[in-house]
Chains A and B, each alone.
Chain A
Amino acid sequence: MGERSDRSDRSDRNEKLASAARTAAIYAASVSVALVLAGLLVSLTGGSALEVGNALIKGSLRSPGAWGLTLTAMAPLLFVAVGAVIANRAGLVNIGQEGQLLFGAMFAAYAAVRVPGPGWLAILASLGAAAIGGGLWAGIAAVLRTWRNLPEVLTTLLLTFVAFSVMSFGLRNRWLLGDRDTTRRRHISSGEQIPLDTRLPNLHLFGNSIDLGVLIALAVAVAATAVVARTTLGARIDVLGLNPRAAQRFGVSRIRLTNGVLIASGALAGAGGAMLLLGGASGDRLSAGYSNNNGWDGLLVALLARNRVMAAIPMAFVFASLRTGSSFLASTGVDRKMTDVVQALLVLALLLPPAIEQLRRHRSRPTSAPATPAVAGLAAPTAVGGA
């Protein structure tokens, strides 16, 4: 008896191992297909795929100080991704992080150059302002969704384009974001320099200067994981995402939670904008195109993480590496747009295995069709009896 259960245990374990190995193999295969495709593209257009790979690794990890740069670039991506994961869990598709991040950066810039007092106060103020800015921009989409049932997919996107215009409007006007320094030759498209003492301090480790922002971002990711996994709020968010109708039955206010989650994800994206500005990953003053696709990339990170906050951390690191590595591409003669292609291919590649797995499971599962009428047959008499 004992022997038998032991054997079945073992075979069960073997099966699990085999399934895990198969999953890993599918992932490895589809990622390599993506990389091979990217390499082919480079080769076809006259570049050398090997050189490109080397340049990316050198720029992101191997050259002196590269680790610090990559970690600095990781902070905004991680902030955006955490917000997007939480929104995803609630079944909301916030894809306007680029605009929310830009709004956060604008609010942060306004606060950073205007808040008097010591540097740390200005840093806190601009972080708070950034969260408000991003939350405000996502809040518009939230209101449109809960009030008019407009899909947040579309409204957050459209608002991103408006955010770009707001930014250039702000930069053209001195009383908003424009450079108030009249001695400087007037640049129409750049903002005021962020004072040195209002930038995030750096830690110096092994010849790398690591921005404090990445530690804040990691702390936020850990906190978000705790909220999602351990609190009622987290459970409510999950229920809202899995079955909104059930959520309402359980006494979750759909409107309030939807608004709250969308605003929170926008606020996190906005804080990512502050990280960009105060960490200096994208220059020490606002300029046109300042968000530099950080919002989009953070969103892709979240999509790769597939609803798990912790998984966003390594993914954000990979994307940050591609970002910093791309600055080394110039030497290979390959345009840095190539990294965008690599990123999108990676997203598609990591999207495929679970979908294939699901399809396979669905096809191989014995049909549950006979069970359904039996259940219905059982339910019907009781219903009649009850009546």
Chain B
Amino acid sequence: MEFFEALGSILGFEGMYVSLFQLGVVFAFAASGEWVAERAGTLNISVEAMMLAGAFGAAFGMYLINSSIVGVLAGCAAGMLVASAQANLSHRLAANQFVVGLALNVLVLGLTAYLVSVLDLGRSRAMTWRIPLLVDIPLVGSALFGRPWPAYLVYVAMPGLAWLVYRTRWGLNVRAVGENPQAADVSGIDVNAHRRQAILVCGVMAGFAGAFLLVGQVGTFTGNIVSGRGFIALAAVIFGGWTLRGTIIGCALFAFVEALAISIPVKGYKIDSFILDSAPYVVALAVMLFFAGRVRQPAALAQPFVRGLT
């Protein structure tokens, strides 16, 4: 009985919905970018590094020029920088994509932590846009209509990405490259160029996710700001069965879990922090366990392509 009471009080807590939407936006950008890369055949584990670079880039951009637009753009650029390293090393030089990804994760983690130790970046926050009237809706008004401005871009970016991948020639090529690179190659598509481009798209999206995490949610850059959220985004893509819609649903689910973990202690309920801390990762593992058997991954996922090797 007490449990339902607690659940009711948490579900009636406005802050929970705010966290849910904010983290949902972070996950949605990172995971949808990762989804593009995976549709092209790269299991891109450096998405974590891209997010971290994005967050740092945003903090650094705002430190130089105090404008959140510059910050977000710098974040996207930083994510893209990591992406171009990943793309060229793994799909121009044919180095192992996991090795590259891991090295980049370590590099960006060390580099940002080092740079933060020598720079005082201060606080970086984006301006909040309140949509009049709608923001006063009880419970979810503030969560949906009273957010820092970059959050609203999710309504543009997600349909845009769906259009790009499902409705354009480039998107068709990308999907072909991820399913059957040999056939794509024979029909005149530059396989590795498309994979590189898909990783760059992932870099922009993940860089934005990191930038929004900083300017919209956390406010100050710390070395552990991302702390595995990139890997959860990877799990969201698997959960979504490599469809954009499913991926976004997965993001909402993982954001909900994390929002719950944030809200439970805020509302004064005591649950061992072990459960709260590990919940996002355990839930990610558990839902993959349930859903992975029912979906089909891109046939050439994580397989390098070298022309003439087959």
Please determine whether B238 and A154 come into contact, CB atoms closer than 8 angstroms. yes
In chain B, residues 114-140, which have Cβ atoms closer than 8 Å to a Cβ of chain A?
Answer: 114-115, 117-118
Residue of A nearest to B302 (CB): A151
Please determine whether B289 and A150 come into contact, CB atoms closer than 8 angstroms. yes
Say which residue of B89, B234, B238, B292 sits within 8 Å of A351 (CB atoms): B89
Main secondary structure of the interface of A (DSSP, over half): helix
Q: Which residues of B contact A300 (CB under 8 A)?
A: 102-103, 106
Q: Which residues of A contact B94 (CB under 8 A)?
A: 355, 358-359
A124 at interface, CB cutoff 8 A? no
Taking the closest CB of chain B, its distance from the CB of A373, in whole angstroms, is 14
Q: How many residues on B have C-beta within 8 angstroms of the other chain's C-beta atoms? A: 46
A159 at interface, CB cutoff 8 A? yes
CA distance A154 to B238 in the complex (A): 10
CA distance A221 to B9 in the complex (A): 56
CA distance A337 to B104 in the complex (A): 15
Taking the closest CB of chain B, its distance from the CB of A96, in whole angstroms, is 10
Q: How many residues on A have C-beta within 8 angstroms of the other chain's C-beta atoms? A: 50
Please determine whether B95 and A46 come into contact, CB atoms closer than 8 angstroms. no
CA distance A215 to B300 in the complex (A): 43
B193 at interface, CB cutoff 8 A? no
Please determine whether A168 and B277 come into contact, CB atoms closer than 8 angstroms. yes
Q: Which residues of B contact A35 (CB under 8 A)?
A: none
Taking the closest CB of chain B, its distance from the CB of A335, in whole angstroms, is 4
Surface stretch bound by B, among A54-62, A259-267, A340-348 = A340-348
A157 in contact with B45 given A148-B293, A337-B110 (CB within 8 Å): yes
Q: Which residues of A contact B92 (CB under 8 A)?
A: 359
Please determine whether B274 and A351 come into contact, CB atoms closer than 8 angstroms. no
Residue of A nearest to B108 (CB): A344
Q: Which residues of A contact B288 (CB under 8 A)?
A: 144, 148, 150, 154-155
Surface stretch bound by A, among B24-32, B61-69, B206-214, B279-287 = B279-287
A75 at interface, CB cutoff 8 A? no
In chain B, residues 218-262, which have Cβ atoms closer than 8 Å to a Cβ of chain A?
Answer: 227-228, 231-232, 234-235, 238
Q: Which residues of B contact A46 (CB under 8 A)?
A: 118
Please determine whether B109 and A149 come into contact, CB atoms closer than 8 angstroms. no
In chain A, residues 286-314, which have Cβ atoms closer than 8 Å to a Cβ of chain B?
Answer: 296, 299-300, 303
A231 at interface, CB cutoff 8 A? no
Q: List 7 A-B contacts (CB under 8 A).
A: A95-B98, A144-B285, A161-B278, A168-B273, A337-B113, A340-B114, A362-B308
Closest 6 CB pairs of A and B: A340-B110, A344-B107, A169-B274, A355-B93, A165-B278, A335-B117
Interface contacts beyond A149-B293, A352-B89: sample of 19 additional A-B pairs, CB < 8 Å, sorted by A: A95-B102, A148-B289, A149-B292, A150-B238, A150-B292, A151-B43, A154-B238, A155-B285, A159-B281, A162-B282, A165-B273, A168-B273, A303-B103, A337-B114, A340-B114, A344-B104, A344-B106, A348-B89, A358-B94
